[in-house]
Amino acid sequence: MKEIVLSQKIERDELLRGRYVQREGLKRARESLQGNLIKVIIGPRRAGKSVFSIQMLEGLNFAYLNFDDERLMSTSDYDELLKAIRQVYGETKLILFDEIQNLPKWELFVNRLHRRGFNVILTGSNAHLLSRELSTHLTGRYTQFQIFPFSFLEFLRAEEFAMDEALELKERQGLLLGRLDSYLERGGYPEIVVKDLDVKNYLTTLFESVLFKDIVKRYGVRYTKMLSDLARYLITNHSNEFSYTKLKNILEFRSVHTVENYTKYLAEAFLMFSVDRFSFKLKEQMRSPKKGYAYDTGIIHAIKLKTGNDIGRLMENLVAIELMRRELEFYYYRPVNGKEVDFLIKRGSKVDELIQVCYDINDYETKKRELASLAKAGKTIGCDRLTVLTWDYKAEEKYSGESIIFLPLWRWLISR
């Protein structure tokens, strides 16, 4: 066991020597080290959880174990594990466990360490497993950080694109829009952004790995082709409504229950997520179709079978990811006999903002349609903060007595 921990210490030291893009949320994560709560870092595979943890712990003496190592997966004697940690790292109370979900009954071990005063940081690639076990065994004793692929702001930081007053120059904005084009197509997985990799090969390999390593193997999925077909359908049909019954019929599943389970697995493995339709009636909200989104727009490009001009839907998917990243409560809204509003944001019990995403605002009929649906929804719900996110149009206009803000997507994305 000591040899394994020593070899992983070399891995830790190599990570510490690396140069990385500064990730959002680090300040709050570092501050959390002052408390004794267990820190849980979750997110998609290859999104940068380990690097985020290393950045979080920079300058501190901490023990490191990565349970993606097959030599540790059959570990049953946790006292031997702790003994090896002590031999290699000494008296430190700070421990980082990477991909903790691969350790059997890990929550019991972590709970014991926490009771003994250890400051534990965990990373994992499965949202349900972590939240289920933590809520059962560590209720009230952990804080969670969710890591995504690079945001557009982090993408620009990685490309060393200066964010200064020159952004008000049209020429500079043209360069930034070129970066946004690239970001929509390539996505934000850190290795894609910082290394010269074959994007399609990297992302399709990652997609297959998540399907078969994180879902099929973990849940004992029998119908692997049907799982793959469902994943591809939901991701390539992103930004659209779906229902489990409709998916069952289209993909010829035997039962709605299986579709529902497989969709849940895809969400737990951070391949896609769904957004509910808003209603003041909970039962109606639960029965309504959902909208599906990918966790990264690069994955969409990598696995789709045909190319097409769907930049408006890609923009909408990007907004959905950013709303998730900002930890906002959001829905889509479709009134009876009315046109859909892409996003409805709630703060507490109040509807705070309605957002429509529209690439081509120059067409008069398109603009009129978007404004009409937004203004009508605002009046119906009682929300006066109405926003249209565009490709490159900025203005404030009145429509049907309502004030509507037009904002370029790139400005909204960097406005955090």
Decide which of 137, 170, 197 is a domain's last residue.
197
| pLDDT above 70 for 414 | yes
CB within 8 A of 415, min separation 6: which ones? none
| pLDDT of 178 | 94
Q: Do residues 157 and 247 share a domain?
A: no
Q: Do residues 247 and 340 share a domain?
A: no
What value does the mean pLDDT take over residues 18-33? 93
Q: Which CATH number is 12's domain given?
A: 3.40.50.300
Q: Which CATH number is 399's domain given?
A: 3.40.1350
Closest Cα to residue 354, out of 368, 340, 366?
340
Burial of 339 (0-12, 13-18, 19+ CB in 10 A): middle
| pLDDT of 305 | 73
Lowest mean pLDDT among 10-19, 228-237, 318-327, 346-355: 10-19
| pLDDT of 283 | 87
Q: Looking at 210-341, list the stretches that DSSP marks H as alpha helix, in order from N- to C-terminal side.
A: 217-219, 224-236, 244-251, 256-268, 282-287, 297-303, 311-325
Mind listing the pLDDT tens digit for each residue in 320-373?
999 999 999 999 999 877 789 999 999 998 999 999 999 988 888 888 888 999
Residue 204 domain-assigned (yes or no): yes
| pLDDT above 70 for 27 | yes
- The end-to-end CA distance of the chain, in Å, is 45
pLDDT band at 267 (very low <50, low <70, confident <90, very high): very high
| pLDDT above 60 for 235 | yes
| pLDDT above 80 for 312 | yes
| pLDDT above 60 for 307 | no
Number of domains making up the chain: 4
pLDDT band at 135 (very low <50, low <70, confident <90, very high): confident
Q: Do residues 236 and 370 share a domain?
A: no
pLDDT band at 286 (very low <50, low <70, confident <90, very high): confident
Residue 289 domain-assigned (yes or no): no
Which of the 8 DSSP states describes residue 361? Answer: -
Decide which of 158, 180, 197 is a domain's last residue.
197
Q: Do residues 300 and 260 share a domain?
A: yes
What value does the mean pLDDT take over residues 267-295? 92
| pLDDT above 90 for 86 | yes
Sheet architecture: strand order including 119-124 = 63-66, 94-98, 119-124, 38-42, 142-146
CB within 8 A of 59, min separation 6: which ones? none
| pLDDT of 107 | 86
Q: Do residues 97 and 13 share a domain?
A: yes
Residue 313 domain-assigned (yes or no): yes
Q: Do residues 142 and 157 share a domain?
A: no
Q: Do residues 331 and 371 share a domain?
A: yes
Closest Cα to residue 97, out of 53, 64, 61?
64
CB within 8 A of 77, min separation 6: which ones? none
Residue 77 domain-assigned (yes or no): yes
pLDDT band at 101 (very low <50, low <70, confident <90, very high): confident
Residue 263 domain-assigned (yes or no): yes
Of 153 and 19, the structure prediction assigns the larger pLDDT to 153
Q: Do residues 203 and 193 share a domain?
A: no
How far is C-alpha 305 from the geometric centre of its chain's CA atoms?
24
Q: Phi/psi at 398 (nearest 5 deg)? A: -100, 140
Residue 407 domain-assigned (yes or no): yes
| pLDDT of 306 | 64
Percentage of the chain surpassing pLDDT 70? 98
pLDDT band at 224 (very low <50, low <70, confident <90, very high): very high
The average confidence (pLDDT) of the chain is: 91
| pLDDT of 308 | 60
DSSP-derived 3-state class of residue 344: strand
Q: Do residues 157 and 138 share a domain?
A: no
Residue 20 domain-assigned (yes or no): yes
| pLDDT of 309 | 66
Percentage of the chain surpassing pLDDT 90? 73
What value does the mean pLDDT take over residues 140-157? 93
Residues 76 and 103: beta-carbon distance below 8 Å: no
Q: Do residues 22 and 54 share a domain?
A: yes
Residue 90 domain-assigned (yes or no): yes
Q: Do residues 12 and 97 share a domain?
A: yes
Q: Do residues 52 and 116 share a domain?
A: yes
What value does the mean pLDDT take over residues 236-261? 96
What value does the mean pLDDT take over residues 11-32? 92
What value does the mean pLDDT take over residues 4-13? 93
| pLDDT of 208 | 95
Domain encompassing residue 180: 150-197
Decide which of 128, 146, 164 is a domain's last residue.
146
